[in-house]
Structure formats: structure tokens, C-alpha cells
Amino acid sequence: MGAEDRERGSPSGRPRGAERTDAAPRSAVRASRPRRDRPRIEQRPLLPARREDAAPWTRWLLALRPPRKLKFTREGKYYLGITLGVGFAAINTGNNLLYLLLGMLLSLIVVSGVMSDLSLRHLTVTRRLPARAQVGRAHLVEIEVYNHKKRVPSYAIEVEDLRAGQPADKRCFFLKISPSSAQVAAYRRTPAKRGRDRHTGFRIATRFPFGLFEKSREVEAEGDLIIYPAVDPVRLPVEDAGRREGGASLSGRGGGDETFGLRPMRDGDDPRDIYWRKSTLRDQLVLRERARETRPDVQIVVDTVRPAGEGDGFSQLLERRIREAASRAVAHLKRGDGVIVATTLGERARGDRNSGADEILRFLALLEAVDEGRVPEIRAERAARASLRQGAGPGPASGGRRASTSRTAS
């Protein structure tokens, strides 16, 4: 029995209470043992924001975390009250029929929870934003929901588009999403203010199957949409007679609309430039040379510096200035002029007949008021950046045109 006790007490046959006199210290033994090449686990948050970014050993934690939110509908509150009443009556009376009715009522609650959870599982929601949006004009935002389940469809899915700092008032409803298929819906929205409209995610909800409870979950899906300022119709002043619109002048041969001169046609010339009226009077084809038009840019200046002591009144004034600048810029672009929109701090954007008004409207949409006390600091930073650019080399000229007309939006 003593030998057996020694064998059971320790793998080496030594009694449990005996001291190790001939053995090396544990630290030395551990140091002498070869370490296995194990991957070092980095310090990460316990619950990542997205399940696909989680490590395999933490996915079960994400599964245990309740991602669903449950709230009662009006009908669900009535149903719960009836269920509680039947339960109290069954307990007080001991009637088996009441117990049977209570079991049926509770089973409907369980079935509702299971089926609603199946409808919300394995859904992917994507958003398609328009290329441009403008204050006061409605635009469509498409919402697509894809059901990754192989056999189970999803019913009565409501998707709510969430935006940062704004109430979620736009929803899309999907009656049925078949397995391994997608459904697309759209909602219409009319922006009330310019700037960056930041979308943060979606809220996916369902009241399937009985409408007693609304189960929902939120998913992250970021997206930005630049809201252009509103544009009003503007009547530009009539230009002097004898000048083209925008003050265009003719300088040398080019690809304009005016005729610069006539010459005999040579090999390689474009047949579309043949001047048939003169060619019929001569024995050879005559080509019409077109003049190159140089149109001076129209410059519009917007004052964004907030004077000291100004409050919300300056914000409203700035919005009026931006709206007026956008209206004038679009009117000049429609007439064919090149437009430069600049601020008093030196920021600028340019547009012409070829590039359109997107760059200018985007520039105006992101303008913000600057306090008067920060103006020297901002100008010093920009001067330092400009000196760095000049040291790196000459940069490209802004369109290669000069600005001749100066207008201030005030």
C-alpha cells in the first residue's frame, strides 16, 4: 500500500510532501525546455465591431451577444395582457382547460420569436447613392437586400437608413425575399441643407409572423453624399455689342466656331471643314480654318470669414452668399464662360463648359465659416504649403486662363 500511495501521489514515485533537493529550480527547467513555435496572439478588443473581422475563438462570443432588439406592438401588448390574465386564472382555479389555453398562447410567443429571428438572419444590405444631390431637389436612394439563406425566405423586412445627427425617417419595405436572391427598393428624399450627408448604417426590422413584436438589429454601412447648394435662375447682364458672350476674343487658328481664313485643302485635312460655297467657284477644294477662342474666366469671391461677435446671423448670411455664388456660376457656365469661385482665404475651384459645374458646386457645398481670429494661422499654414510646392517644382497652371471679371457674392 505504501508503494501504491507513492505512485499515486506523484508521477516520480516521491511522496507529495517531500522536498526536491536534487532537482534544478523550475525557472531553470523552463528555460532549458525548447519552446514551441506558437503564434503570438495580439491584443484585440474582446468583441470586434464586425463578425467577419473577429478571430475564430471570439466568434462564439459574438454569437452569445444579443444583437436583436425587441419591442411590443400595440397588438402585442394586448396579447401579453390576455396571456397574463389567463395564466393568473389558471393558477387560481387549477382548471386544465385554462392551462391548455395558456400553453397555446405561450407557444405562439415562442413561434413568433423563432420565425422572426430566422427572417432577420443572413441578410446583407447595400446602399446605392446618387452621383449628385442638391438642396430642394428630390433624389432616389436605392436599398438592396440579399438573402444568403439557401432554403428559408425572409418575410416582412423593413430597412431603415440611418444618418449621423439626423432622424431616421426613410424606410423601405420588402414583403418577401426568396432564398439566395435579392430585392431592390428605393426611397425619395429632398435635402434641406447643403454639406456632407453621412450615412452610418441600417436598422433591419420585422414584425413577422403575427405582428405581436417588432424584432430589429442594426448593421454598420457607412456612405457619404455631398449635397450641392440650391441654384436659382439668374439673369446675367447683357454684354457689349460686337463682342461674343463672355468677352471672347479670337487669337490664331484653333477649333472654335468662327472662321479665321480660307486655304486650299491638303492631304490629311478634315473633309468636314470644306467650304463648299467657295469650292464651287474654283477648280480645287477650299478649306475653312477656324479661329481659336480665348474666353476670360469670371471670378466669384465668397467671404467666409466670420467677424468677431457674430452669431447665427452670419451663418444665414453665408448660406445666402453661397447660394448666390452657385447660381451665378451655373448661369455663366451655361453661357459658355469659364468660372473661378474663390474665398477670401485663397481657396478656389474652377469650372468651364467642358468640365461642368460639379467641381464648383462641390467646393461650395463643403465651405464652412472661419473665425476672424484664425485667419492669420490659416494663411501662415497655406503660405508654408505654397513654399514647399515651389521648392518641389513649378505646379500646373490653373487651366491656363486669366480671370478678368471679378464679382463678390455678398
Q: What is the pLDDT of residue 391?
A: 66
Residue 63: the pLDDT is 56
CATH fold of 58-228: Immunoglobulin-like (2.60.40)
When pLDDT is averaged across residues 9-13 and rounded to a whole number, the result is 44
Instruction: Tell me the pLDDT tens digit for each residue of 188-206.
Output: 999 999 999 999 999 999 9
What is the rounded average pLDDT for all residues in the chain?
77
Reference 364, options 400, 314, 319; nearest CA is 319
65 pLDDT more than 50: yes
Break the chain into its structural domains and give their ranges.
Answer: 58-228, 259-290, 298-386
pLDDT over 80 (residue 252): no
Q: Of residues 111 and 394, which shows the higher confidence score?
A: 111
What is the model's pLDDT at position 66?
59
Round to the nearest angstrom and report the end-to-end CA distance of the chain: 105
| Largest interatomic CA distance in the chain | 134
Residue 181 has pLDDT above 70, yes or no: yes
Number of H helices, E strands in the chain: 9, 18
User: Residue 147: which pLDDT band, with cuts at 50, 70 and 90?
Assistant: very high
Provide the pLDDT for residue 239.
Answer: 60
On whether the CB atoms of residues 113 and 208 are closer than 8 A, the answer is no
Of 367, 370, 371, which Cα lies nearest the Cα of 324?
A: 367
**pLDDT tens column, 198-232:** 999 999 999 999 999 999 999 999 999 999 999 99
Task: Encode pLDDT of 106-135 as tens digits.
Answer: 999 999 999 999 999 999 999 999 999 999
8 A C-beta contact, residue 70 and residue 214? yes
- How far apart CA 221 and CA 159 sit, in angstroms, is 12
